Structure 1
Amino acid sequence: MKITQVRLGKLSVPLRVPFKTALRTVDRVEDIVVELHTDTGAVGYGEAPPTGPITGDTAGGIIGAVRELIAPAILGREVDDLESVTALVQSAGVHNTSAKAAVDMALWDLYGQLHRIPVHKLLGSSRRTLVTDITISVNPPQQMAQDALDAVARGYDCLKVKVGADPALDTARLAAVRQAVGDEVCIRIDANQAWTPRQAVRILNEMQDRGLGLELVEQPVPARDLEGLQYVTQHSWVPVMADESVFSPADALRIFQTRAADYVNIKLMKCGGLTNALRIAAAAEICGVECMIGCMLEAKIAVNAAVELACARSIITRVDLDGPVLCSTDPVVGGARFDEKRITVSDAPGMGIQGIQPGYLTYLEP
């Protein structure tokens, strides 16, 4: 099975409600889809969201990286030589992790199709179902409380609450959410790099003093401030998860060795796809550090790849794969089934993606 064509398209799907964080506000998914065509007729699918505030990747940058750097390196290559071909993807220029992730997952998809086995089984899956949290966007306290109640009514028992846009309001936001949903619902928060180290410790300890019962906080300080992250981990009463601080296996190992965080969030778009995500998970297993599997604002193709990984690695103990359920509809045919909080992986060969419904994908011809 040889790669004969790399085709790109733009996927556009409205969200149920605007997605708001300390870094950005978005009202629809606008992702780049990668199709790898082969001489057997098989097609491998990948997807990359342009998440400039986090990865630095714009839509134009993703398109350019795939067309100018990655596609020339892999065209004509044998899919069965997966290790070599994925290495070519990772070495095709510096950075561009989202473009690399999209092509990398499409290669794994083809490899599974070639050998007629689901990717999660290739990776040694131990489970077929996952339970995800759902994100509550930054808004006024009472709106966040209502959004949390709506999520619980839909069956969610773990909420990922965005904070950080206005630190003075953050405790009030969390208090309103906790009062609305009661003590039995898990609440984890994500500050998206919004606080200084001392500010983070003060806010987090104040939240716990008020009995808000937070499970963890994601990335409370700027990504490059590892000393600050370590300070928060040492002084906060809330466990700390590194997210934007971890783009590569080397980043993860540095976090593990310095104990700069209690947990690590693995995202395919940060690390360049399944190949490097597997390396992060392996390092986490050796160091005994639990991981979350997360996503950007992605539709089902990319999130589906993360599901394949999470089903195969027990060190991934927390799941934040709500991208598809934040969309107003799911135009992707095949792949994992997302039934609100419950995700069931597909047993079809590869990743099980069959295509995209008409009207949602616009092909980008050279």
Structure 2
Amino acid sequence: MKITAIHLYAAHFPLHTPFIVSYHTYDYMPSIIVKVETDEGITGYGETVADEHVTGETWEGAFYTLKNTLAPAVLGKNPLEIEKIHDIMNKAVYGAPAAKAAIDIACFDILGKKLKQPVYQLIGGRYHDEFPITHVLSIAEPDYMAEEAATMVDQGYRSFKMKVGNDVRKDVERIKAVRARVGEGIAIRVDVNQGWTNSATTLTALRALREVNLDWLEQPVLADDINGMAFIRSKTDIPLMVDEGLKGPREMREVIEKQAADKVNIKLMKCGGIYPAVKLAHQAEMAGLECQVGSMVESSIGSAAGFHVAFSKKVITSVELTGPLKFSKDVGNLHYDVPFIRLTEQPGLGVDVDEKTLAELTVFEAAIR
């Protein structure tokens, strides 16, 4: 089998409401959908959601990296040879994990369709039957976040990921307000997205949150401050999760060596796709670290890819892939049984792509043949 053409669609996915994190407010999500065609008539879809604050790639930059470098490099190659595809991409350009993830995901979609198996069966087999879905609360006023949480509890959600990080005192108010509103039986995970910057500020917040009963605290300090994460972990019994600080095996090794986290957040956009994500999960398992597969707010395509990784690994104990639930329009039909996700047995990613909607959301495109 050979790759005969690669189509790139730079798209804007409309959100029901703005998505607010510590470093940015998104009125829509910029994504790049990749369509890979083969000489056997099998087509695979991939996706990249680049983030200059996390992966070091812009939306436009990822598009042109794909158009000018990665797509030409893999054109004519066998998409089933995943290890070789990654070697070719790594030799073509250093870094650029989100751009590489799009090619990786499309190749796995092709592989699954070729073998008539869902992707999770190709990377270890299905382990989990279902995952509970965590509702993400964007940064807002404490009362608003608390009210939204209460509404989602009524809809069946049992866990929340709270986005904070723009004002530590206000963040403490936000967290306490949500806990008071939903009670003790609901899981609360707090994601700072580096917003508290350093260990001193983080420890100040944790002292104020001692009685709140958090599931875990995610990435309170700057991404490269693994020492800061390790210091915080030595001073608190609240579990710590590393996110932006973990991209690939080098960072994973440092987190393990310095005992800097209790749990790691693996994202396909940060590490380069399905194949590298599986490697990270194995690395974490050897060190006794639990894993989560997280989201960069991808469409059904990228979200499905993350779910296939999560469903195949015992060490992955939680997921936060809720992009399709945030969009007012999506290009795929990934189905959620809210508040759960249960994958089908359809081959490949198991996602049907609506080409008409894709064309509607596309801002600019390119084809490499």
Supply the distance in 2 between the matched residues of 1:126 and 1:146 (Cα, whole angstroms).
35
Q: Which moved more, 1:28-37 or 1:308-317?
A: 28-37
Runs of 4+ in 1 over 4 A off after TM superposition: none
Deviation at 1:60, TM superposition (A): 1.3
Gaps of 5+ in 2: none
Structure 1 partner of 2:205: 203
Supply the distance in 2 between the matched residues of 1:126 and 1:186 (Cα, whole angstroms).
23
Supply the distance in 2 between the matched residues of 1:26 and 1:279 (Cα, whole angstroms).
31
Structure 1 partner of 2:352: 354
Supply the distance in 1 between the matched residues of 2:239 and 2:31 (Cα, whole angstroms).
32
Structure 2 partner of 1:40: 40
Deviation at 1:85, TM superposition (A): 1.8
Supply the distance in 2 between the matched residues of 1:355 and 1:331 (Cα, whole angstroms).
6
2:341 aligned with 1:340: no
Q: Deviations over 1:154-189 (max 9, x none)?
A: 211000001111111111111111111111110000
TM-align CA RMSD: 1.4
1:133–1:159 Cα contact (<8 Å) kept: yes
Structure 1 partner of 2:148: 147
Structure 1 partner of 2:126: 125
Structure 2 partner of 1:68: 68
Structure 2 partner of 1:193: 194
Supply the distance in 1 between the matched residues of 2:216 and 2:77 (Cα, whole angstroms).
44
1:175–1:212 Cα contact (<8 Å) kept: yes
Structure 1 partner of 2:162: 161
Structure 1 partner of 2:175: 174
Supply the distance in 1 between the matched residues of 2:82 and 2:100 (Cα, whole angstroms).
14
Q: Deviations over 1:309-360 (max 9, x none)?
A: 0000010011111111122243314xx4223221121311111222125234
1:86–1:107 Cα contact (<8 Å) kept: no
Letter in 1 for 2:307: V
- The number of equivalent residue pairs is 362
Q: SS at the partner of 2:6? A: strand
Q: SS at the partner of 1:337? A: coil
Supply the distance in 1 between the matched residues of 2:258 and 2:316 (Cα, whole angstroms).
20
Structure 1 partner of 2:271: 271
1:134–1:156 Cα contact (<8 Å) kept: yes
Deviation at 1:268, TM superposition (A): 0.4
Q: Deviations over 1:236-286 (max 9, x none)?
A: 232110000100022112101210111110000000111111110011111
Q: SS at the partner of 1:70? A: helix
Supply the distance in 1 between the matched residues of 2:297 and 2:335 (Cα, whole angstroms).
18
Once the two structures are superposed, the pairs formed by residues 91-102 of structure 1 within 5 Å of their partners are 91-102=91-102
Structure 1 partner of 2:185: 184
Q: SS at the partner of 1:359? A: helix
1:12–1:360 Cα contact (<8 Å) kept: no
Supply the distance in 2 between the matched residues of 1:282 and 1:92 (Cα, whole angstroms).
26
2:215–2:238 Cα contact (<8 Å) kept: yes
Give the TM-score taking structure 1 as reference length. 0.95
1:137–1:162 Cα contact (<8 Å) kept: yes
1:332–1:356 Cα contact (<8 Å) kept: yes
Structure 2 partner of 1:138: 139
Change in CA separation of 1:228 and 1:326 when aligned onto 2, cut-off 3 Å: same
2:240–2:262 Cα contact (<8 Å) kept: yes
1:61–1:96 Cα contact (<8 Å) kept: no
Once the two structures are superposed, the pairs formed by residues 210-249 of structure 1 within 5 Å of their partners are 211-249=211-249
Structure 2 partner of 1:14: 14
Supply the distance in 1 between the matched residues of 2:28 and 2:358 (Cα, whole angstroms).
12
Once the two structures are superposed, the pairs formed by residues 276-295 of structure 1 within 5 Å of their partners are 276-295=276-295
Q: SS at the partner of 1:285? A: helix
Letter in 2 for 1:206: A
Letter in 2 for 1:140: E
Supply the distance in 2 between the matched residues of 1:75 and 1:163 (Cα, whole angstroms).
43
